[in-house]
Each structure stands twice: as C-alpha cells, then as structure tokens.
C-alpha cells in the first residue's frame, strides 16, 4: 500500500478541527524538506556534471531540469487559468480567443530549453508501482548502500522512513517527489524505490523518463477536476509557462539570455514569483507585478484594487459597517473598527485570499479585545467562511490568520488606536458597561477613507530609513 500522503488523502480534508481551515490546502506545490533552494541546487548539479563529479548521473537523468523554483502560491490565479483552459487545444485562452500558452510536452521542453535525441521512456504511476513491487533483494541492498544512513539494521525494506535517508537520498527523493506531484512524504515506498533503482555509481541512469509528457498530462487531469477536488501540484509550471509565452505582459526585468547571448531556461529569467524567503521581490510585488497583470490578460480587464464583494463586507449598508479601506500609492490598508493590531500593508490589488485573512485577523482581534475576553456577546456576527477560509474557532482563528500573513513577510502600517470612527464599538461597550472607546481622530487621513481609487496628492505612507535601505538592496538583486 502506498504511503505517499498526496495519494492517500481524500480530495477534501476534514477542516472543522482547525481554527482556520484553508480549503485550498491542496493547491500548493511540493516543497522539499531537506534540500537547498532549488535554483542553487540546479546550478550545483550542473557544475558537478560538467566537472565529472556526478558519479550517479543525476544530471543525465534529467530530474533536475524539471524541478522548477519554489514559488509563492496564489490559487486564484490557478483557478482563473483553469477557467480559460480549452482541453481540446490543451491551452489557456484569453477572452478574445488568443492562445496564451499551451500545456503540452513540447511547450514545457521549449521553455526549459530541453532537447535530446535519445528515446525517452514513458513515465506512469502504474509502471512504477509494478517495478517497485518487483525489485530484487540485490536492488534493495544497493539502494540502502547508496541512499540510506547506515544503522544497526542490515537492510531497510520499503517503506523506508524519510528520516533514515542520507543527504543524497533526501535530495533525490525531493527531486522525484516534485516531478511526480506529491504533496508530502512519510515513507519511501515502492514507487520511489523504483525511481531510485535507476542510479548506480559510474553508470548513466538505467532509464531516462519522459517527464514533460507526464507533467503535461497531470496538469491537464488536475485542471479538468480542479473545481471539484481543489487539488493542484504544478503552480510553478503555470507561472513559468505564462511568463515564457507572454513576457510583454510583465513589467519586470527579464534575463532570457545568458552571458554569452544564447537563450536559457525560463527558470533563470526572473525571481518575481519565487518564494518570498529567497526572492528579492516582496510578496506585494509578486501580486502587483505578476498576479495582477496575469489576471488582467485572463479576464480581459484589470481587476479592481478591492472587489465590490470586499467593499460590501466592510460596508454592508449605511448603518452596518465594520471597517474602512485606505488606498495608498503603493499598497492597500484595511482597518476594522476596534482592532488594536497594526494592519498589514496589503498589495495595491488585494486578492480575496489576502482580504479574507486580514478580515478574520482584525475582526477576531477586535471582538476578542472588547467583548469575548470579557464574556460579553460578540459585537457582530463574523462570517465563518470567506474566500477559501473556514473560520472555525474565534479564539485561535484570528491568531492563525495573523501567523499566515506574517509568514508572507508583509510590512505593517502605523498604529492607530483607538480606531472607531463611527463609534460602533464605543456604543456597544457602553451598553455592556465596559467604558467608552474614544476614537483617535486623524482627519488628514480619514478624509481619504473608502475612496474609489488612489489619486495623486492623497495617501503616501512614508518609508523608514531601514525600509529604504532594504528596498535599495532588493533592487540591486533584481538586476544582478
């Protein structure tokens, strides 16, 4: 029986036990547990191959070439691509009928600049399972010798715990897991053993698989079932296909040529969508410079900074309001009445995913501070579902939203306490005999609350000296 989590999990995990459940939790690429940032690993493996130090032929297996950089997830963009996907053409189509990019083995190999005259072996899960179940004792011993940390046990048989692998074994399992579209691993089972068995010291890989066809078919299958299963494992492929085929859409520096002036793989063009922890681009820049232009092409018109649905959540009607929005030149700020957390500086264009997290974070904090912690009835009924998130437990849910947004390395706006411009929190506190909550007036900012858009001469939040230096350093990295 396979122990790979992504194959044993149901399409929708039971999320009720989580303080804040993410229904799109299966829309994330495989992120290795033990390997280096994969652009660095790609360069190192290629250097080892060129120097003759790659005794196992890892580069010749082509696995590193199909391991794309770790990227920031944005399920909304994947859903939009799926909405515009024409299965008969295997292509994502614009509203005007233009083919934006195809999802075929040829298009994948073209963007990766992969060419070979060798005949590649078709890759299928059924074949790997069959081969893994038929491994000989000698093959299992060889895998142990090459990829398993020596222990008191003479030979470990599948399933082998990931923690028992040596550094080389973990690297290869991570490479394989990414290409196969796994989300996480507990054990190295027969499928992975079959893949590991193709490596032997001093010899080229016993098999060279057709990874491009496998990946193209997996993307097609996952697109066809996306709305029902909410499962997608190849976000990085979609980002790179979009960039490679529509480079003029994105106003970021691109480096499609190497130092010698010859074309190179799209993975080296730009880090704009690379994981924020290793990219010179901030998460807000990822949204504003990549996600928003891509959505504009997919939808035929630029999405607004805040959708009408988001505005209605904050302002249901003239009487029932829970907060305001502020459009700054380079970011967007939401302030919920009574919240005493500094709001995050969200991107100029706010996806529902980020809006939902900031809504739960601020509303939950306000409700907890003023009412829940004092055993009083909640001030208002909070939505228990917004975007992909299920707000299951107020006590911990808003803290989980805060933790997720902090993980995106977003900056925060200035402190504004108390914030209660329509006195709704104060009036309810007085009703509960909890005392007044006098709003701190900042008329030069308040007059721009809930503006339809940003205009020259309105809100520009000043950067600190530290932020200016950080931005200058990032700008140097973007073009180096």
Q: What is the pLDDT of residues 292-338, one digit of tens each?
A: 999 999 999 999 999 999 999 999 877 789 999 999 999 999 999 99
Return the pLDDT at 195. 96
Q: Given pLDDT bands bounded at 50, 70 and 90, which one contains residue 186? A: low
Return the pLDDT at 166. 93
CA distance 142 to 203: 14
Mean pLDDT of the chain: 91
| pLDDT one-digit tens code per residue, 216-249 | 999 999 999 999 999 999 999 999 999 999 999 9
pLDDT of 407 above 90: yes
| pLDDT one-digit tens code per residue, 267-299 | 999 999 999 988 999 999 999 999 999 999 999
Return the pLDDT at 65. 96
Return the pLDDT at 6. 38
* Strand partners for 132: none
Q: Given pLDDT bands bounded at 50, 70 and 90, which one contains residue 35? A: low
Q: Given pLDDT bands bounded at 50, 70 and 90, which one contains residue 462? A: confident
Return the pLDDT at 30. 63
Mean local confidence (pLDDT), 145-168: 87
| pLDDT one-digit tens code per residue, 90-122 | 999 999 999 999 999 999 999 999 999 999 999
Return the pLDDT at 95. 98
pTM metric for this prediction: 0.93
Q: Given pLDDT bands bounded at 50, 70 and 90, which one contains residue 11? A: very low
């Amino acid at each position: 029986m396979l122990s790979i989590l992504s194959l044993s999990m149901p399409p929708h995990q039971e999320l009720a036990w989580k303080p804040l459940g993410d229904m799109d939790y299966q829309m994330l690429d495989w992120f290795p547990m033990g390997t280096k940032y994969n652009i660095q690993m790609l360069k190192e493996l290629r250097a080892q191959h060129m120097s003759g130090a790659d005794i196992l032929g890892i580069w010749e297996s082509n696995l590193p070439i199909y391991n794309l950089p770790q990227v920031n997830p944005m399920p909304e963009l994947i859903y939009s691509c799926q909405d515009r996907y024409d299965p008969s053409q295997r292509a994502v189509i614009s509203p005007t009928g233009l083919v934006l990019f195809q999802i075929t083995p040829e298009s994948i190999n073209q963007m990766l600049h992969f060419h070979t005259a060798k005949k590649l072996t078709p890759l299928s899960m059924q074949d790997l399972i069959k081969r893994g179940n038929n491994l000989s004792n000698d093959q299992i011993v060889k895998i142990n010798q090459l990829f398993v940390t020596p222990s008191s046990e003479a030979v470990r048989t599948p399933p082998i715990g990931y923690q028992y692998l040596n550094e080389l074994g973990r690297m290869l399992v991570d490479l394989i897991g990414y290409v196969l579209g796994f989300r996480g691993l507990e054990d190295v089972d027969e499928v992975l053993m079959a893949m590991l068995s193709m490596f032997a010291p001093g010899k080229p890989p016993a098999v060279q698989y057709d990874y491009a066809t496998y990946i193209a078919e997996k993307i097609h299958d996952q697109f066809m079932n996306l709305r029902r299963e909410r499962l997608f494992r190849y976000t990085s492929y979609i980002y790179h296909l979009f960039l490679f085929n529509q480079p003029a859409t994105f106003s970021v520096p691109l480096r499609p040529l190497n130092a010698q002036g010859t074309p190179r793989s799209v993975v080296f063009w730009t880090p704009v969508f690379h994981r924020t922890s290793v990219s010179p681009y901030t998460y807000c820049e990822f949204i504003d410079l990549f996600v928003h232009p891509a959505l504009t092409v997919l939808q035929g018109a630029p999405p607004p900074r805040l959708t009408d649905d988001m505005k209605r959540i904050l302002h249901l009607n003239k009487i029932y309001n829970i907060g305001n929005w502020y459009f700054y030149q380079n970011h967007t700020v939401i302030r919920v009445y009574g919240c005493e957390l500094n709001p995050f500086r969200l991107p100029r264009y706010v996806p529902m995913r980020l809006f939902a997290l900031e809504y739960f974070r601020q509303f939950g904090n306000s409700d907890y501070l003023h009412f829940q912690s004092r055993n009083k009835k909640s001030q208002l009924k909070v939505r228990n579902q917004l975007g992909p998130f299920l707000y299951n437990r107020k006590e911990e849910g808003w803290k989980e939203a805060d933790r997720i947004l902090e993980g995106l390395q977003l900056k925060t706006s200035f402190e504004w306490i108390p914030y209660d411009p329509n006195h709704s929190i104060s009036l309810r506190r007085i009703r509960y005999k909890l005392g007044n909550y006098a709003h701190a007036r900042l008329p030069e900012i308040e007059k721009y609350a809930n503006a339809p858009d940003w205009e020259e001469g309105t809100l520009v939040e000043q950067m600190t000296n530290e932020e200016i230096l950080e931005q200058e350093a990032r700008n140097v990295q973007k073009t180096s």
